[in-house]
Amino acid sequence: MKKITEAIIRKEASIHKIQFDKEWFYSVKDMADYLSEDLNGIETVTLPVVIDEVTYTIKCATWEDLLRFLQKEPLEDFRGSVFRKSPLPPKGGIGMGGKKK
């Protein structure tokens, strides 16, 4: 990934952006293209962005959303995987069913 800052992103003409409620939002598609990163799964909001005098509704994210997404743990999505502890076997061990006579 390129070394970037929010100031660089804000100045980048190829990334469409909008200031909404005192916070900057950036087009996720444009950021993905600029960074050459897959941003599927990033937290987004859909906002009206004016491009060439036409208003489009575009999925956008904040700078903080981008940082949080890019810094998440590599195995974070495998919460229910085999890495989880399996439950303990029933008391008495495995295969010891039935009473002794």
Could you tell me the pTM of the whole model? 0.68
pLDDT digits (tens, 9 = 90+) for 33-42: 999 989 999 9
CA distance 55 to 50: 4
pLDDT at 69 (0 to 100): 92
Domain interval for residue 55: 6-72
Q: Is residue 90 part of a domain?
A: no
pLDDT at 21 (0 to 100): 86
Q: Is residue 87 part of a domain?
A: no
Please name the residue that has the structure tokens 């906002």: 47
DSSP 8-state assignment for residue 78: G
Burial of 80 (0-12, 13-18, 19+ CB in 10 A): exposed
Number of structural domains, the chain? 1
The mean pLDDT of 2-23, rounded to a whole number, is 89
pLDDT digits (tens, 9 = 90+) for 41-89: 999 999 999 989 999 999 999 999 999 998 875 555 555 555 555 555 5
pLDDT at 59 (0 to 100): 96
Listed in sequence order, the residues at least 6 apart from 50 whose beta carbon sits closer than 8 Å to its beta carbon are 18, 56
pLDDT at 86 (0 to 100): 54
In three-state form (DSSP H/G/I as H, E/B as E, the rest C), the secondary structure along 23-69 is EEEEEHHHHHHHHCCCCCCCCCEEEEEEECCEEEEEEEECHHHHHHH
Q: Is residue 78 part of a domain?
A: no
